[in-house]
Structure 1
Amino acid sequence: MDPSVSVLRNYLLTALQNLPGTREFHLHVLVSAPRKHSGLYPYAHPRPRVYLQDIFILLSEQEKLDSQRVFVAALEVNVYNAPSTSCGILYISKVDSTGQGISPSPTPALLKAFLTFYADPATRPIQVDTLWLQLFARAQGQYLFPNSADYSGKKPLTDVKLCAWWKRIFSYVAEEVAERVKGAKLGLYYILPGLNELEAINTLQFASSTTNHAASPNSGLMPWTYGHQYSQKELPLPCPPSKNGPNLGHFIPSFDDDPKSRFIDEIAFTTEEPGVRSPERKRSRTFSGDGEESSKPATVADKEGTKDKEEKIQGELGKVSADEFWERMSFRQECIAGAVTGFFALGIHVPPLADSQPTSAPSPLAPQPGQVPPNLVRRLVASLLNGHEFSTVERAVRATETLEGAIKGLCENIAPTTTTRPPISTTSSSAGGLSNSTLSAPLLLRGERDSTPEPPFSVSATLDILRTPPRRKGGAALPPDISPNPFPEPVASLDTYFQHIYGSVAINNPALPSKTSAPDATINGDSHADTAVVVQPTVNVLAVRKKKRKADA
C-alpha cells in the first residue's frame, strides 16, 4: 500500500476521486492530540484509563475554477482508546451537510472512507485489537451547519430512512473489513427503541425499498443482531468486568449529548427509599481500667470496610442488567417522541498473530505528526455553531471563506495562548490570512497584550459548543486527572497545515446519466443520499388491436 494512503487526509481525497461530475473538493482534517479522559465510564470501579481524540472534518466544493467554495459536508467524531483491554471506540457524534453542492452528495463517500480507514487495522492510527463503531441516529434538519435546514435544496431524510441509511453504511464498512482482513471477527448490532425485531426489520426494509441507493455486491451477507452487544462473549468490551459484582457502569459508555448517558445518570442516582438510609457502622470503643473511654486503632477490617464503602456500586447500577437497561430505553422520551431513532454498533476484533514479536509501541499520549491541540478543534466547532449560518448560498460562501481562512491563520499567525475577550463583529475583513470573525475573538493575536489564560481545553462562555448537559441528580462532577501529561502539546504550523490538514482534489468524471436519484438528504442532520443512480427502465406500452367482426352473412 502506498505510504501516503496511511494519512487520513490523503485517504479521504482518494475516495472522493471516483464521484461523478466535474468539480473540485477542498478538505480540512483536524485531529487533536490524545488526552486523558475519565468520563467514558464514570461509574466503573476502578475507572479504566482512557485517552480521547477529537476529529473534525470539513469538506467544501468548487464547481469551477472561477466559482466560490461552499461547505457541503462536516463530520465530528470522538475516538476513545482503552489500553487496558486493547479496545477503542469510534463514536460518530455529528454528520451534517448544507445541501448546496452538486448532486450526488459527497457525504456518503466521505463517511464510508473515514469509517473504513479506522476499521481496517492496516490503516487504523491507534493500536487496539478491538474497535467499536457506535452511533445514535436521530433525524433532525441540521446539526453542524446552523440554519441550513432553511435552504430549499437540503432535503433531510426522515427518521426511518435515516436509520435504514445508517444500516447500509455500517454494512458497507463491515463488508470491506471482511474482504480485506482474513480472520477478523465482526459483530453488527442495532436497536430501534419501541419496536420489536420483526417490526424493525419490516420498517427498515420498506424504507430501503422506497429509496434509490447503491446496492453492494455482497449486500445482505453480513448478519445483523437485533439487540445490544453487551451479552456476547466473542468480542472484547472496552471496560474490564467489575470485581464487586454486576455493575451496569462497566457496560454503558457515556458520550456527549447521548440519551444513554442521561439515562445511566438517573439510574446511578436512584435509590429504593429516598430519604431512608442504613445506619453507618460505628467505630468500636474500649474502656480503660479507670472507666475512661479510649480510642481503638482502626483494624484491617475497618479499613477494608471503608474501602468497600468508597467503591460501593452507585444507585441501582448493580440491580439493572444490560437487557433491562435497553428494554427501559424504549420508554425514554428521547427515543419515542413521535420519531423512530436507532442505536447502531459495529465491533471489529483482529487478534494479534501468535508468532508476532512484541514491539515497543509509543505511548498512547504521545502526539503524532499532524495532530493539533484539542482546544483548537473545540474552538473551530464552537465558531461554526455560533458564528455563522447557511440558510442561503451567499451566507454559506461567506462562512466558508471565513472558516477556511481562520484554520490556516491558526496554523500561521496565532500563539496557543487564549484570552476571554468578548466576540467582535461577524463582519468578514481578512488580513494576513486570518478573518476577523467570531472565531478570532477568543484567540490571542500577535502583538496584542497578554491577558489571563483560560484553563486547558476550555472554551469561553461566548463561544461554547451547544450540548445538552448530562443529568446528574445530586452527584458531584468527576474528579479531574491530576497527573500531568508528560508530552508537550503540539504546535500547529504551516507545514502541519499543508501536509496533514488541508488538501484538494479536482475530478473530471462522466456525469450521472439521469437525475432519478434522491436529492441531497440528511442523516443525523447530515446530508445523505447514496451516490448511486438507479436508471428506471423504459416501459413500452403496446396498444391493443381490436379484432374485426365479420360481416353478417
Structure 2
Amino acid sequence: MAEDRSAKSRNDLYSRLEKVLGGGLQYRIHHLSTRPTKSDALFAAPPAQRPQRTHCESHLLTLSITSPSSSSSTSNSTSSQTQGRHVFVFAIEVLVYTTATLTTLFVSKADSTGFLSRTPSHTRQSPIRPLTSTFLTWLAETRQRPGIPLVVSLFARAQDQYLFPGSVDHGAKHVLDDRQLVKWWCKTLDPVLRCPTTDDSYTTRAHVIVPGFDYHETTQFFPPTCRSDPVDNRKWRHGHPLLDIAPNPSAPPRCLVPHFPDDPKARYLDELDAEIPDSQPSQTFFSPSKKGNGMWKSIRTLDQFWDTMAFRQECSSGRMVGFIWLVFTPTQPSIQSLEDTVTHLTPATSFNADDLLGADLIFSSQESLGQTEEVSRASPRKTSRRKKLSGPIVPRQPQIKSSSSNVSSRSDKTISKEWPEEGRGQIVLEHTSYSRVHDLLLRLDFSNADTATSSTRKWLAEVAAISNPTADWGKEVTGSNQLAHPASFTKSSQVNDISGMLVRKKRKNTEDRAQAPAAVEASAVNILSASMIRKKPKVNNNT
C-alpha cells in the first residue's frame, strides 16, 4: 500500500508538470529524496532549555532534454543510450525541516544550464518558472499536517551558477541580476501562495524583506497579482513572520531567527553568538549556561538585527539580497501544537510519567482522604525516609524523561515514524549517499553541450550505481501546455500588423517615386538632377 500511494503521488506530480511544460516537447524528470534524519535545530533554544528536535529530508528535482550535440542519434536506441543522450537544463533542491510545531520548506538551490535556448524547438516562454511553482506546490501539499503551520522560505542572491559548474561559460545562459532575481522569485511563489487547496483550512501570507529597502521600495518586487487583492487583506506584505513561526515568541532575538545552511543571516547569527557570555562557538544551537540570559550585547531587538543586515557583505557593496517567506497558518490549530505552546511558556511545570505512577501507589496505600492530602503536601524527602526498600534488586532499562526536552518523546517518535509515503522521490537515498551524489554534481563540467551531456550521463549512472534502481530511472514527459506557442505567435502577429502599417506609410513615398516612366533608381536620380538644373536656369535668366 505504501508503494502504491508513493507511485500515485509521483504520477500526480508528473501529470501536473505535463500541463505546464511546452506542448509537444519531450522532457525527462528525475526526482531524488532522502529519509528524514535528525539535524540541527532551526531556532536556538532559550536559556536553560534544549532546542527542538528537528528532522530534515532533502529533495532534488532535475529537468533534462535531448542533447543538442546528439540530435543525429538513431531513434531505436536502448534505454541506457537514450538516457545518455540527455542534458540537464534545470535543477532545484528543497530541504524539508519538520518539528512538532512547524514544517519548513527551504529552497536551498536552483540553477539552469542555458541549453534549453539552443534547442530547435525552443519556445519563447521558458518552462522553468511554472515547473518551480508546480513542484513547490505539490511538495507543500504532501507535507502539510493538520493543524500545524507550514512555511516556504528562501533567500534570493544572484550568482552565475549554483548547481552546474561551468554553465555560465558557454554564453547561452541568462543570468538575472539582484533586482530581477527577487522579482522572479516573487512571481514564482505567488501561485504557491494562491493554491486553491489551502483556501479553506489555511490562511496564507507572503512576507518580503530586502535589507536596506523601506516599505515603498520593497513593494516594487511584489507580483502584479497583489494589486487585485483587497486593501485590508493583502497577500504580500513587507516584513518578516518570525514572531509567528518561532516556537517561543517571548524568547531573546537569537531564538527567533532560523538558522539555514549557507544563509547570510545564519553567518551573522554565528558572529553575534560570540557576544554571549559563557557560550561556546562550537555549540551555537544550545543555550548559554544559567549565568547568561541569551541576549546579544550589540543587538537587542529583531528590528535592529534586520537594520544591521543591510551593512553585511552579502547585502552591501552594490549587492542586494531578498528574504521571502510564505506562511500557511491553519485556521484550527492542532491539540498537540497547543500543548507544546503551553510547555514552551512554562517549562518548569513539566513532569515525568513515572512520578505520577509512584504518587498513585502512595495514594492507594492510605486509609482516608485526609491522610492522602497530608502525604500529597509532604516533601519528597520525608516520603523517601518513611519507605524502606527490601528484597532483590531487579535492573530495568533507563527511560528518557519527557522534561529533558521542550518536545515530548511521543512527539519525536511521531515525527520520525509518520513519514508520509506521498511526496517521496522515485529514488530514496540515505543522507550519506545523497551528500555523495550532491557533491559529485558540484564537481562536474557543464561548459559546453558535449561535456554537459557527458556530465549528465555520469551523474545519472552514479545515482543508479548507489541505489540499484530499475534499468532506466526517470520519467519521460511530453509537455501539453499549448498556451506557450499561441501566445508567442499572437505577439509576433501583432508586431507584424504594426510593422505592416509602417511599411504602408513607406510605400506611399515609393508610389510617388514610381510615377516616373523609367526605373525606380534611375527616375529618382533623374528627378533630383532635373530639379537641380531648373534652379540654375532661373538664376541665369534673372541675371
TM-score, normalization by structure 2 = 0.63
Q: Does 1:111 align with 2:132?
A: yes
Provide the residue aligned with 2:213 in structure 1.
Answer: 195
Cα distance, 1:340–1:535 mapped onto 2, change above 3 Å: farther
> In structure 2, which of residues 105, 116, 135 is the aligned counterpart of residue 90 of structure 1?
105
Cα distance, 1:265–1:534 mapped onto 2, change above 3 Å: farther
Report the residue type matching 2:103 in the other structure: G
SS where residue 133 of structure 2 aligns?
helix
Partners of 1:516 and 1:219 in 2: CA distance: 28
Q: Does 1:346 align with 2:326?
A: yes
How do residues 146-165 of structure 1 correspond to structure 2 at under 5 angstroms?
146-165=165-184
Report the residue type matching 1:159 in the other structure: D
Whether the 8 Å contact between 2:103 and 2:144 is mirrored in structure 1 is no
How far 1:312 sits from its partner (Å)? 2.8
Provide the residue aligned with 2:60 in structure 1.
Answer: 56
How do residues 64-213 of structure 1 correspond to structure 2 at under 5 angstroms?
66=75, 68-83=85-100, 85=101, 87-101=102-116, 102-103=122-123, 104-120=125-141, 123-124=142-143, 129-177=148-196, 180-202=198-220, 204=221
Whether the 8 Å contact between 1:190 and 1:342 is mirrored in structure 2 is yes
How far 1:135 sits from its partner (Å)? 0.7
Q: Does 1:239 align with 2:212?
A: no
Q: Once the two structures are superposed, what CA deviation does each residue of 1:162-212 show, in whole Å capped at 9, x if it has no partner? A: 1111111222211124x653142112100111111112234x37xx8xxxx
Provide the residue aligned with 1:7 in structure 2.
Answer: 9
Structure 2 spans left out of the alignment, 5+ residues: 76-81, 117-121, 278-286, 337-410, 510-543
Cα distance, 1:506–1:349 mapped onto 2, change above 3 Å: same
Partners of 1:255 and 1:341 in 2: CA distance: 15
Whether the 8 Å contact between 1:61 and 1:70 is mirrored in structure 2 is yes
Whether the 8 Å contact between 2:201 and 2:332 is mirrored in structure 1 is no
User: Aligned residues: percent identity?
Assistant: 26
Report the residue type matching 2:96 in the other structure: V
Partners of 2:112 and 2:493 in 1: CA distance: 22
Provide the residue aligned with 1:512 in structure 2.
Answer: 485
Provide the residue aligned with 2:242 in structure 1.
Answer: 230
Q: Once the two structures are superposed, what CA deviation does each residue of 1:60-93 show, in whole Å capped at 9, x if it has no partner? A: 112778472110111111111111x2x1111101
> In structure 1, which of residues 15, 19, 30 is the aligned counterpart of residue 32 of structure 2?
30
Partners of 1:535 and 1:100 in 2: CA distance: 29
Partners of 2:41 and 2:226 in 1: CA distance: 41
Cα distance, 1:18–1:55 mapped onto 2, change above 3 Å: closer
Cα distance, 1:308–1:162 mapped onto 2, change above 3 Å: closer
Partners of 2:227 and 2:6 in 1: CA distance: 29
Whether the 8 Å contact between 1:48 and 1:240 is mirrored in structure 2 is no
Whether the 8 Å contact between 2:445 and 2:451 is mirrored in structure 1 is yes
Partners of 2:325 and 2:218 in 1: CA distance: 16
Provide the residue aligned with 1:375 in structure 2.
Answer: 432
TM-score, normalization by structure 1 = 0.62
Report the residue type matching 2:475 in the other structure: G
Provide the residue aligned with 2:414 in structure 1.
Answer: 363
Whether the 8 Å contact between 2:99 and 2:415 is mirrored in structure 1 is no
Provide the residue aligned with 1:424 in structure 2.
Answer: none
Whether the 8 Å contact between 2:109 and 2:163 is mirrored in structure 1 is yes
Cα distance, 1:20–1:118 mapped onto 2, change above 3 Å: closer
Whether the 8 Å contact between 1:5 and 1:11 is mirrored in structure 2 is no
How do residues 116-515 of structure 1 correspond to structure 2 at under 5 angstroms?
116-120=137-141, 123-124=142-143, 129-177=148-196, 180-202=198-220, 204=221, 222-231=234-243, 236-241=244-249, 246-270=251-275, 309-310=289-290, 312-314=292-294, 316=296, 320-352=300-332, 363-366=414-417, 371-386=428-443, 388-412=444-468, 493-494=469-470, 502-507=474-479, 510=482, 512-513=485-486
Partners of 2:494 and 2:335 in 1: CA distance: 51
Whether the 8 Å contact between 1:188 and 1:224 is mirrored in structure 2 is yes
Cα distance, 1:363–1:391 mapped onto 2, change above 3 Å: same
SS where residue 335 of structure 1 aligns?
coil
Determine which structure has more spread, i.e. the larger CA radius of gyration. 2
Partners of 1:114 and 1:79 in 2: CA distance: 13
Q: Does 1:19 align with 2:21?
A: yes
Cα distance, 1:164–1:536 mapped onto 2, change above 3 Å: farther
How far 1:12 sits from its partner (Å)? 4.3
SS where residue 92 of structure 1 aligns?
strand
Provide the residue aligned with 1:520 in structure 2.
Answer: none
Partners of 1:124 and 1:374 in 2: CA distance: 19
Partners of 1:368 and 1:374 in 2: CA distance: 18
Q: Pick the structure with more helix per residue.
A: 2
How far 1:99 sits from its partner (Å)? 1.0
Report the residue type matching 1:377 in the other structure: Y
SS where residue 304 of structure 2 aligns?
helix
How far 1:112 sits from its partner (Å)? 0.6
Whether the 8 Å contact between 1:133 and 1:346 is mirrored in structure 2 is yes
Partners of 2:297 and 2:177 in 1: CA distance: 35
Provide the residue aligned with 2:397 in structure 1.
Answer: none
Partners of 2:147 and 2:485 in 1: CA distance: 40
Whether the 8 Å contact between 2:299 and 2:305 is mirrored in structure 1 is no
Whether the 8 Å contact between 2:276 and 2:288 is mirrored in structure 1 is no
Whether the 8 Å contact between 2:93 and 2:107 is mirrored in structure 1 is yes
Whether the 8 Å contact between 2:149 and 2:328 is mirrored in structure 1 is yes
Partners of 2:147 and 2:493 in 1: CA distance: 39
Cα distance, 1:81–1:514 mapped onto 2, change above 3 Å: closer
Whether the 8 Å contact between 2:23 and 2:478 is mirrored in structure 1 is no
Structure 1 spans left out of the alignment, 5+ residues: 209-214, 273-306, 413-492, 518-531, 547-553
How far 1:349 sits from its partner (Å)? 1.5
How far 1:139 sits from its partner (Å)? 0.8
Whether the 8 Å contact between 1:119 and 1:348 is mirrored in structure 2 is no
Partners of 2:65 and 2:228 in 1: CA distance: 30
SS where residue 267 of structure 1 aligns?
helix
SS where residue 160 of structure 2 aligns?
coil
Partners of 2:43 and 2:31 in 1: CA distance: 28
